[in-house]
A and B are shown apart, each in its own frame.
Chain A
Amino acid sequence: MTDLTALTLAEARDALKAKRLTATELTDAYLAAMERARVLNAFVLETPEKARAMAAASDARIAAGEAGPLEGLPIGVKDLYCTEGVRTTACSRILGNFVPPYESTVTANLWADGAVMLGKLNNDEFAMGSSNETSAFGTVTNPWRRRNPDGSIDPTPLVPGGSSGGSSAAVAARLCIGATGTDTGGSIRQPAAFTGTVGIKPTYGRCSRWGIVAFASSLDQAGPFARTVRDAAILLKSFASVDPKDTTSVDLPVPDYEASVGRSIKGKVIGIPKEYRVDGMPAEIESLWAQGIEWLKAAGAEIREISLPHTKYALPAYYIVAPAEASSNLARYDGIRYGLRVPGDDITDTYELTRASGFGAEVRRRIMIGTYVLSAGYYDAYYVRAQKVRTLIKRDFDIAFAAGVDAVLTPATPSSAFGIGEKSGGDPVEMYLNDIFTVTVNMAGLPGMVVPGGLDAKGLPLGLQLIGRPFEEETLFQVGEVIEQAAGRFTPEAWW
């Protein structure tokens, strides 16, 4: 075989099962690809020895006929996931060289199913960001580059989206066959849209949060990145589980998501929310959305215009709830028990010095916002009202679903990937606006998936978002695959 990294996850799985390929060969191919692509800065830690040992163990299990569902498939892990014996930092200086003595439930599920760990992937510090520019390990470069009108390549480095920028870049550049991500306001879906990959944020409670560094507990959810809808479906099956260690995880059977891939969507009702037509939305996004509608209509779905009237309040409410929870969740990084400590004259001084030098500017900003909105005298005006907005957003969706809508189709992002540094210099709200189409899904706890829909005039990928009923991820895979079939798949040309 020429380029093993070109195989989709499903293809590689089948080849491994048929013994046309060994886990060791596949892993070596990825390790080599990772080495060649270090300029992208997608990995913050490569674990080649661990990968080879896991691959060898996979080969042994395959030989013994004991292969798991993900046997021998090389995966990259977002650095927000605690990995036993492997440095985990959430890409923050404050965790220093923290090595967890435990494994997150989701990654433990993956390894139990036979997956191979290639290393830890870059992300925005504590998952706070939409461009991967807040990482303590530096920016990640999107494998995609703009194309000039004359067809030549514009070498301006672009962001891979964020916060799961390492995951999106690595999957798009074929540095891993799939990757883990986390999504609090769009951190899986926006980077997937920016890199032409498939990313799904499952229903809140579908995957355990145990062992994943918390950003905003009521919004955080783990999910996979993959190159195809089928691959994402295969991965989610392993991700999802009820976990006695996370009481917000839900005890519902995990369906065979892959089985829903390829199923007809005839008769499915697809809602098109009019509130997602925002001012100043590029015509390309608008036309991609219209194209998506046509594809689904052609596949037999019923298209229905719907109203989600509280959509416009979602972003401001999100930027109250998420920082509020983060300000409390990040209090544990105090320099006392693990990670960075900058000693001061007394305990308060130590806290201040440690946290001021350990956290980056965006994290500090959100801690300040969160502390402010929870303060006495402001709590009711901000936090309580934001929670009420959240209830209303959820009710908007409930009403649509109750009226028979099976899934909602929206654009994934208001633009394609932007240049490194283009939005990170000035007004933070510029950056926050990236999440305008994705935050509602987290606020309502719903599953959302981004599937590549096409390329814009600059040759950059654009995504379409599907939002489903709670715990009906199968519908998303079913509908997503129809889009994928119609739009095709998109791979960046290797320039690194």
Chain B
Amino acid sequence: MTIAARTAKPSQFLKGATGDWEVVIGLEVHAQVASNAKLFSGASTAFGGAPNDHVSLVDAAMPGMLPVINEECVAQAVRTGLGLEAQINLRSVFDRKNYFYPDLPQGYQISQYKSPIVGEGIVHLDMEGGETVEVGVERLHLEQDAGKSIHDLSPTSTYVDLNRSGVALMEIVSKPDMRSADEAKAYLSKLRTILRYLGTCDGDMDKGNMRADVNVSVRKPGGALGTRCEIKNVNSIRFVGQAIDYEARRQIGIIEDGGTIKQETRLFDPGKGETRSMRSKEEAHDYRYFPDPDLLPLEFGQDWVDALKAELPELPDAKKARFVSQYGVTPYDAMVLTLERASADFFEEVARGRDAKIAANWVINELFGRLNKEGKGIEASPVSAAQLGGIIDLILDGTISGKIAKDLFEIVWTEGGDPKELVESRGLKQVTDTGAIEAAVDAVIAANPDKVEQAKAKPTLAGWFVGQVMKQTGGKANPQAVNEILKAKLGLE
């Protein structure tokens, strides 16, 4: 979709003193390639370790050292390109981006400038309310990460840790297709999901393994594009949203006050929730890009791409569509279930041979709810798919009620164990014996003659009796049977 073609919905407009404004957003996401070794050296990419533990002669840019491309990183970039439905370029070129900085040992970053490995692609967003938005991917290229400068170890010196120096990054550049902070957050979130499905990036934003440069401009709805500002290195999805909201407001304020937006690079301060100027366009580096003469153009065959494609896992969009058609769940539930590959697998295991809607309900509401509350990932779930399936089976065959099932879920979560055995050993079995239920109903009726009279006048009071009976039976009475017997005895039919 072209920039001009897509105008935000009026509900996305920002209100200013002079009327409505539309925000235009593009993202450059840096995603660390999941690989054991760096992009051009054999050094480890493991997180942590003492400073400068994972540094080879190449990473430290010793004299005479040469880069050698890591084939696995190339494969990961191609897989990612395929996951973004993008064009894979069978020939791409590595360039040098020249600038001086202590944590950039070579004095240049090896990147891809004019000929990236991946061309145009698409990311599909499912917005709340069932709306779908397509965001174009402009390109994806491979490049080296820099090291880290540490300024707080000494009052007079800066220390440099080169562990990250040379680690492979994918820079994924979107088109300026997003029109709200929510869309930008949804894009980043979806991109993260796709990368994690593919196994090409762990998406861990806390460790800086995925971070975004956010380009923001504002314009009158559908009008000419405004001057953009780039907010560098935002490292959480939430911050991306905050940064956009702040920046759009800031730009609208300036323009409405008769000012103009200067093209510049800005930083987001999460503490203050604001962006501030880092450097203007005039101060921008002249990177003197040119093809790296140490590296031949990167070339591979279509067969290699096809082989990688054949091994790709089912991706979130396809899985979501399948869940809707195969399991009859709603598109929204399908989206939630497929956010993580492991969650989707978990759901499928629970749903196998069972009512899929009930399974989806339990997985989303009980399990995900509980996991979120405790900040746990699906991998760390104390309740396995088999256990959750066992609980659902007990509901479906009438052994326990839905309410007891929730208690049982709690027991399995905290103590573990086989749901069926737990129901036996803890006496959680539902009472379906009408004799026992009748006795309990009789006892409640006998003890509350006044309520019986009231109930006859106001049948909704029957609910109170159900509650009393359930209490008497420790919640184990089959609620349907209680209802029927009560109604008969109270003469409500």
Contacts and interface: CB of A to CB of B under 8 A. Distances in A.
Interface of A: 81-82, 88, 90, 95, 98, 100-102, 104, 209-214, 216-218, 244-248, 324-325, 327-328, 330-332, 334, 336-338, 347-348, 351, 371, 374-376, 379, 383
A273 to B, nearest CB: 27
B295 to A, nearest CB: 6
Interface stretch (B28-36, B56-64, B233-241): B56-64
Contact of A328 (B67, B160, B288): B288
Most buried by A among B158, B288, B294: B288
Contacts of B338: none
12 contacts: A81-B64, A82-B62, A210-B64, A214-B63, A217-B292, A218-B293, A248-B294, A324-B290, A325-B293, A332-B107, A334-B100, A347-B158
B106 interface: yes
Contact of A82 (B64, B106, B107): B64
B64 A351 contact: no
B64 A375 contact: no
Contacts of A332: 61, 63, 105-107
A247 B71 CA distance: 12
A343 to B, nearest CB: 10
A247 B60 contact: no
Contacts of A246: 66, 68
A331 B100 contact: yes
Contacts of B63: 82, 88, 90, 95, 98, 100, 213-214, 332
Nearest to B61: A332
A95 to B, nearest CB: 7
Nearest to A374: B288
Contacts of A379: 288-290
Nearest to A332: B61
Size band of the B side of the interface?
Answer: 20 to 34
B108 interface: yes
Contacts of B66: 209-210, 245-248
Contacts of B432: none
Nearest to B158: A347
Contacts of B295: 247-248
Nearest to B57: A102
A244 B69 CA distance: 10
B320 interface: no
B65 interface: yes
The 6 A-B pairs with the shortest beta carbon distances in the complex, nearest first, are A331-B107, A218-B293, A217-B293, A374-B288, A332-B61, A211-B64
Contacts of B68: 244-247
A337 B288 contact: no
Contacts of B102: 334, 336, 347
Contacts of B57: 101-102
B96 interface: yes
Contact of A216 (B69, B98, B289, B293): B293
B180 to A, nearest CB: 34
Interface of B: 57, 60-69, 96, 98, 100, 102, 105-108, 158, 160, 286, 288-290, 292-296
Contacts, number: 98
B108 A375 contact: no
Nearest to A101: B57
B143 to A, nearest CB: 16
Contacts of A82: 62-64
A327 B66 CA distance: 16
B290 A331 contact: no
B108 A336 contact: no
B293 A376 contact: no
A143 B164 CA distance: 51
A213 B61 CA distance: 11
Nearest to A88: B63
B108 A328 contact: yes
Nearest to A351: B100
A429 B145 CA distance: 40
B364 to A, nearest CB: 50
Nearest to B58: A245
A80 to B, nearest CB: 8
Nearest to A346: B158
Contacts of B105: 332, 336-337
A338 B220 CA distance: 55
B298 to A, nearest CB: 10
A300 B63 CA distance: 47
B106 A331 contact: yes
A214 B69 CA distance: 19
A348 B100 CA distance: 9
Which of B63, B64, B293 has the most C-beta atoms of chain A within 10 angstroms of its own C-beta? B63
B164 to A, nearest CB: 16
A94 to B, nearest CB: 10
Contacts of A213: 63-64
Contacts of B158: 347
A374 B62 contact: no
A437 B276 CA distance: 57
A328 B65 contact: no
B160 A375 contact: no
B41 to A, nearest CB: 10
Nearest to B284: A376
A381 to B, nearest CB: 14
